[in-house]
Amino acid sequence: SMLLAAKRHAEALRYYEAAARMMDRVVGPDHLLSAAFLVGWGAALGAAGAHADGVPVLQEAADRFRRLGATGAVMAVVADLTR
């Protein structure tokens, strides 16, 4: 995201956490948007130096993408972020 690219980690973290929680409420946890915002939240946690906190968020995103039938590139990106 632009916030992460600009190294505005704290702001990105607040944005993605709020957006992920909102997407869960609005479209439900089994929706592509919910999974996508979890990836952003997990990436923001990692960028902010909270990698250990980001891993479970990214694992949840991967589980959701799997349930939605995602394969290949999407799963590779999520897996790469957990390293």
pLDDT in tens, 3-58: 888 999 999 999 999 999 999 999 999 999 999 999 999 999 999 999 999 999 99
DSSP output for 7-55: T-HHHHHHHHHHHHHHHHHHT-TTSHHHHHHHHHHHHHHHHTT-HHHHH
DSSP state of 69: T
> 3-class SS at 68?
coil
Residue (of 61, 44, 62, 63) closest to 53 by Cα position? 44
Q: Look up the pTM and report it.
A: 0.87
